[in-house]
Homo-oligomer: A and B are copies of this chain.
Amino acid sequence: MPAMKWWGWGHEGMEFSCEDKPALGPFIADKIGVDVRVRRSAPLRFDELEIAEPNLPAELRADLEESTGARFVSTDPLDRVVHGRGKSLRDLIRQRRGELPRLPDVVVRPGSEDEVAAILQAALAADAVLIPFGGGSSISGSLQAEDDESRPVISVDLERLDQVLEIDPESRLARVQAGVFGPRLEERLAALGHTFGHFPDSFPHSTLGGWIATRSSGMQSDRYGDIADMVKGLRVVTPAGTLVTRPVPAASNGPSVRQMVLGSEGRLGIITEATVHVRRIPQRRTILGYLFPTFADGLAAMRDLADTDYSVSVTRVSDAHETQFSFAMRVNPTLLDKVQSAALKTYVHRRLGFDVDSMCLSFIGYEGSDRHVSAQRRAVGRLVKRHGGLCVGAGPGVLYDQKKFDIPYIRDFLLDRGAAGDVSETATTWSNLMPLYDAVRAQANRAFDQLGVQGYFMCHLSHSYHAGACLYFTFAFKATSDTAMLGEYEVVKSAIQQAFVDNGATLSHHHAVGTEHAQWLLEDISAPGVAMLDALFEGFDPGRHMNPGKIVGAPAPVPSADPGPGG
A→B interface (CB under 8 Å): 168, 170-173, 214-217, 226, 228, 232, 236, 238, 240-257, 259-265, 268-269, 277, 279-280, 303, 307, 309, 311, 368, 372, 426-432, 463, 465-470, 504-513, 517, 521, 524-529, 531-536, 538-540, 551-552
Contacts and interface: CB of A to CB of B under 8 A. Distances in A.
B263 A525 contact: no
A426 B251 CA distance: 8
Contacts of A531: 238, 240, 540
Nearest to A172: B467
A250 B534 contact: no
A431 B254 contact: no
Contact of A252 (B263, B311, B527, B536): B263
Contact of A539 (B240, B257, B534): B534
Contact of A250 (B251, B268, B368, B465): B465
B255 A427 contact: no
B250 A463 contact: yes
Contacts of A226: 250
B429 A506 contact: no
B509 A251 contact: yes
Nearest to A168: B431
Given A246-B524, A254-B512, A254-B552, 16 more contacts: A170-B430, A217-B252, A228-B256, A240-B527, A240-B528, A248-B427, A248-B506, A253-B513, A253-B524, A253-B525, A255-B263, A256-B259, A257-B529, A259-B260, A535-B536, A538-B539
Contacts of A536: 255, 260, 532, 535-536, 539
A226 B252 CA distance: 10
B172 A241 contact: no
B173 A508 contact: no
A505 B262 CA distance: 21
B429 A525 contact: no
Nearest first, the 7 closest Cβ-Cβ pairs linking A and B are A535-B539, A249-B465, A259-B259, A171-B429, A243-B528, A249-B468, A251-B506
A527 B525 CA distance: 28
Nearest to A518: B254
B245 A255 contact: no
Contact of A504 (B214, B246, B255): B246
A427 B251 contact: yes
A15 to B, nearest CB: 28
A467 B173 contact: yes
B261 A215 contact: no
A263 B269 contact: no
B251 A262 contact: no
B238 A528 contact: yes
